């Protein structure tokens, strides 16, 4: 539970930080014809731990894990696209915008690892309690 709360706070801080950088670097995103949607997608990151913990009771663990992963995948994919586009730009002016995309990618990756660890613990717990019927 402490890990969940800590990650929730970290995801909030990172979402705000990334969104601020994207907003500040908006002219660079526009100049290189890159969508600033990443600024909105990062606000899905803090929802992941909430869905995983609260959704488990309401929806079941499988649905909660799928929904939690869905909080991180769009940000991960869009961030990777932005990183690739800014690497192709070939100018140092894109460095802060590329850093924002890199931070979003790393944060989404941490979120997916968190979901994978939660899935592993859930499967171990379910197999030990005999929920799988084996």
| pLDDT tens across the length of the chain (134 residues) | 888 899 999 999 999 999 999 999 999 999 999 999 999 999 999 999 999 999 888 898 899 999 999 999 999 999 999 999 999 998 899 999 999 999 999 999 999 999 999 999 989 988 887 766 55
CA dihedral 76, 82, 84, 86 (to 10 degrees): -150
How far is residue 20's CA from residue 100's CA, in Å, rounded to a whole number?
Answer: 9
Q: Is the distance from CB of 49 to CB of 12 less than 8 angstroms?
A: no
85-124 exposure pattern, b = at least 16 Cβ within 10 A, e = fewer: bbeebeeeebeebbebbbbbbebbebbbebbeebbeebee
Model pTM above 0.75? yes
Residue 91 tokens read as 């100018």
What Å distances lie between residue 4 and 36, 110, 118, CA to CA? Answer: 28, 12, 10
- As a whole number of angstroms, the distance between CA 36 and CA 81 comes to 12
Question: Within its chain, how far is the Cα of 115 from the centroid?
Answer: 10
């Amino acid at each position: 539970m402490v890990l969940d709360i800590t990650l929730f706070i970290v995801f909030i801080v990172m979402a705000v930080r990334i969104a601020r950088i994207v907003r500040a670097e908006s002219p660079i995103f526009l100049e290189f014809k890159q969508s600033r949607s990443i600024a909105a997608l990062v606000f899905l990151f803090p929802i992941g731990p909430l869905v995983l913990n609260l959704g488990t009771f309401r929806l079941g663990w499988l649905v909660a894990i799928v929904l939690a992963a869905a909080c991180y995948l769009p940000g991960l994919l869009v961030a990777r696209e932005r990183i690739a586009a800014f690497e192709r730009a070939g100018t140092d002016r894109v460095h802060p915008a590329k850093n924002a995309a890199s931070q979003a990618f790393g944060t989404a990756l941490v979120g997916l690892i968190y979901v994978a660890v939660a899935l592993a613990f859930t499967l171990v717990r379910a197999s030990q309690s005999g929920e799988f019927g084996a």
